[in-house]
Amino acid sequence: MPTKRKTFFAQLGMTLLIITSGKTASQANQVGTTNSQTSSITNVWLTPSQIPTSVFDDAPGTGVDPFYPNSTRRGTIAKEPKTTTPVQRPRLVLSGISFAGGKRVATINNRAFTEGEEMEVDAGSTKVRIKCEHIGDDYVIITYGSPPQQIELKIQRY
């Protein structure tokens, strides 16, 4: 019984809305037409506007605390200065020069090189590809890196 009563009142309410609006279905379809007698726009259906999204610009260092305006809590952030780390020369050690078969052989970081030879050596925590350009009596000229850099290594005397 209660469902029939609810249905009845719902139908009654819809009927009253249709009757009191005083417009037929064909008139309701003509949105934005002008009434010739009053020459004003009638039946304008407004669409609900979009809900704007909030944007909060709350970067540190901007604004003040409304409850404690003299507070320094929202002070500026100290920017770290940019420091460029200088490119360090790899740790290359010439430990000896010897003669074998009429050629000079240089020992760099426990690797044997002859003139013109190129290979990778361990230089601390990295590997470096070096080329032995010239072997002197107590020095070696090598090329390493990209762009190529030429350095002279001398025998370290202990």
All structural domains of the chain with their residue ranges:
94-154
Kindly report the pTM of this predicted structure.
0.45
Q: What proportion of the chain, given as a percentage, has pLDDT over 70?
A: 72
CB 94 within 8 A of CB 154: yes
Maximum average pLDDT range among 5-9, 90-94, 113-117, 147-151: 113-117
CB 150 within 8 A of CB 143: yes
Whole-number Å distance between alpha carbons of 122 and 35: 93
Q: Say yes or no to pLDDT of 31 above 80.
A: no
Structure letter (DSSP) for residue 68: -
Mean pLDDT of 42-52: 65
Q: What proportion of the chain, given as a percentage, has pLDDT over 90?
A: 28
- Per-residue model confidence (pLDDT) at position 41: 59
pLDDT in tens, 7-17: 888 888 878 77
Mean pLDDT of 14-32: 63
pLDDT band at 61 (very low <50, low <70, confident <90, very high): confident
Whole-number Å distance between alpha carbons of 103 and 132: 13
- Per-residue model confidence (pLDDT) at position 118: 95
Mean pLDDT of 5-33: 67
Whole-number Å distance between alpha carbons of 62 and 98: 69
Please count the other Cβ atoms lying within 10 Å of the Cβ belonging to residue 146. Answer: 6
In DSSP terms, 154 is beta-bridged to 139
